[in-house]
Amino acid sequence: MLLHTIFVIALAAEAMTAALAAGRRNMDWFGVCVLGCVTALGGGTTRDILLGHYPLIWVEEPGYLLVTIAAAMFTIAVARVMERLRLIFLLLDAVGLVVFTIVGCQIAMDMGQPAMIVIVAGLITGCVGGVLRDVLCNDVPLLFAGELYATVSAVTACIYFFGVKAGLPVDAVTVVAAVIGFAFRTLAIVFKLEMPRFVYAPVRGNQSSKR
Amino acid sequence: MLLHTIFVIALAAEAMTAALAAGRRNMDWFGVCVLGCVTALGGGTTRDILLGHYPLIWVEEPGYLLVTIAAAMFTIAVARVMERLRLIFLLLDAVGLVVFTIVGCQIAMDMGQPAMIVIVAGLITGCVGGVLRDVLCNDVPLLFAGELYATVSAVTACIYFFGVKAGLPVDAVTVVAAVIGFAFRTLAIVFKLEMPRFVYAPVRGNQSSKR
Amino acid sequence: MLLHTIFVIALAAEAMTAALAAGRRNMDWFGVCVLGCVTALGGGTTRDILLGHYPLIWVEEPGYLLVTIAAAMFTIAVARVMERLRLIFLLLDAVGLVVFTIVGCQIAMDMGQPAMIVIVAGLITGCVGGVLRDVLCNDVPLLFAGELYATVSAVTACIYFFGVKAGLPVDAVTVVAAVIGFAFRTLAIVFKLEMPRFVYAPVRGNQSSKR
């Protein structure tokens, strides 16, 4: 129940930050709503399509679509205020990352998937929404730019999966995974922790070598 | 029957305008065909994947693929002539938008989906092909740039859904929805009607705020 | 068996060249792995989603994911050496193109699909991974830039489909299709054979004409 409430709040927060990204590109109101929905619901949708897990959650429960659309439109009115709340939205985004990851793991485990697929399902649920947003905004996905974001999702997914597999109470595992994941992401933001990058400059660049 | 004929003409028209977009980027003949197919069939394909509605129409009836490939290749020969027919293709595109939307609504209603999902199915069928085209061409989707395009699709879908739900004859509702949608889109082009945009310039831009 | 071994080698090779592409964009290690997986497994995944062919191969057998992730990470260590092996990777990429195409055709034929869909399934399996890589890297897909790449895939798929349909032994057809496809791609690279391009510069460029 609590997880579900936090899930809905996180959906709205993801839609609102995506709406700001739409505003930075001067998109119209329709684009704002689409970008909000794709960012908030795109991760779960991608997971369900890859796992063949139908119906998609927003098809079964269109209320999720309404929440994201309402949050995106609301952003247009309150964008200036949100700016001062940047820190809160950064934290809400971290909450969303962790909660989406756990929900993704739960669904894959309910389907009886093995460890690797459960963790990938968590990662996809937590991270793909932002990738789709960046593709629609015509950016190289921010996800690949060094921030400890996917790593937080992977760690959260591992704690959840192995905790549940070890027979610990699911509620306790959920709380522990969420708290550790959230703390990890917060520390990564505060201390600007980064993944190492792979920097490769070819000696001779030519078209064929791109393949 | 008539709807089906118009549907095939609209598929061909969408493929031809997409082929021109490929030509503006100097794509090869294969790219021209792919962009034509993705633009013409991508909306319906996305809808069917999201709704879990298999087989996809072009898998069940590969003739649709042949029509779009033929139309795209034909465009290479007649591009110079098409330029003078720009107005006709703009109108054919409006026809396609409206017809695709109605077909999308029909399929979702046949599956027993609720209002929200039927309208979203119509929107996706009408509009997503162009978004996929723009992503493959590495542009920010034109769909989000202010034109009254998705709005026309949404209005058409609403008229169709609520007309059919009200028990009116399906054929009559189809014609009325199509005519109103087409007229609305034509007026939007003629009078350059636009959706309001959300223009947001952050005071302090930094990487984290992109999330 | 042999086909399966070559398939796994080709997966690794595709992941490694994709990892180099990630390195050229200074992506982090996570991005390197994602780009490797999407490039190596994205074509087969797209085919299976379009055909409704579940479970996806890497969901059923997560070992494929491990191979691509390991290959991508390994690339970070050996990038400088790979540069001198550029020719070998170009040939491995040609092997992958041909083998992926044949595997895609096999799966579609096992599902009883008609000729057109079998060939499209082969094309998608062989070529879409690279398109997804380019979209994530924010490039116009290289696939549409004139190289004889998709054409090789289409020719291989046709030989395979019509050979098997003609009642010839499947193993013999597989070898012949693979050898001809590989030779064709190699000749295309050596002699810089290209698809004709569609070059179209509109006289009057305006927004509406983009549709």
User: What interface predicted TM-score (ipTM) does this complex get?
Assistant: 0.88
Of chain C residues 68-97, which have a CB less than 8 A from chain A?
75-76, 79, 83, 86, 90, 93
Distance CA C178, CA C153 (A): 10
Taking CB atoms and an 8 Å limit, are C143 and B30 in contact across chains? yes
Calculate the average pLDDT of chain B: 89
Residue type, B152: V
pLDDT of residue B1: 74
pLDDT band at C144 (very low <50, low <70, confident <90, very high): confident
Distance CA A15, CA A34 (A): 9
Record the tokens describing residue C44, joined without a space: 């087969």
What percent of chain B lies above the pLDDT cut of 90?
Answer: 60
Q: DSSP secondary structure string, C138-200?
A: T---GGGSSBSSHHHHHHHHHHHHHHHHTT--HHHHHHHHHHHHHHHHHHHHHTT-BPPB---
Q: Is C56 helix (H, G, I), strand (E, B) or coil?
A: coil
Taking CB atoms and an 8 Å limit, are A28 and B138 in contact across chains? no
Contacts of C31 in chain A (CB under 8 A): 141, 143-145
Closest by Cα among B141, B196, B148 to A34: B141
Q: For the beta carbon of residue B196, count every other beta carbon within 10 angstroms.
A: 11
pLDDT of residue C203: 63
Average pLDDT over residues B149-178: 95
Contacts of A35 in chain B (CB under 8 A): 144
Residue owning tokens 């109605």: B102
Question: Hey, is the C-beta of A35 within 8 angstroms of any chain B C-beta?
Answer: yes
Taking CB atoms and an 8 Å limit, are B24 and C50 in contact across chains? no
> Pick from A25, A30, A135: which is nearest to B150 by CB?
A30
Q: Is B194 helix (H, G, I), strand (E, B) or coil?
A: strand
Residue owning tokens 């193109």: C97
Residue B203 has pLDDT above 70, yes or no: no
Average pLDDT over residues C69-82: 90
pTM (two decimals): 0.91
Distance CA C31, CA C11 (A): 17
Taking CB atoms and an 8 Å limit, are B59 and C49 in contact across chains? no
Residue owning tokens 């992977």: A154
Distance CA C135, CA A23 (A): 22
pLDDT of residue C204: 55
Record the tokens describing residue C45, joined without a space: 């995944």
Q: In this predicted model, what pLDDT tens digit does every residue of C153-176 receive, in sequence order?
A: 999 999 999 999 999 999 999 999
> Pick from B30, B59, B79: which is nearest to C195 by CB?
B30
Residue owning tokens 């399902």: A121
Closest by Cα among A103, A194, A190 to A147: A194
Instruction: Identify whether the C-beta of residue C117 lies closer than 8 Å to the C-beta of residue C36.
Output: no
Q: Which residues pair with C28 in a beta bridge?
A: A197
pLDDT of residue C143: 74
Question: Hey, is the C-beta of C195 within 8 angstroms of any chain B C-beta?
Answer: yes
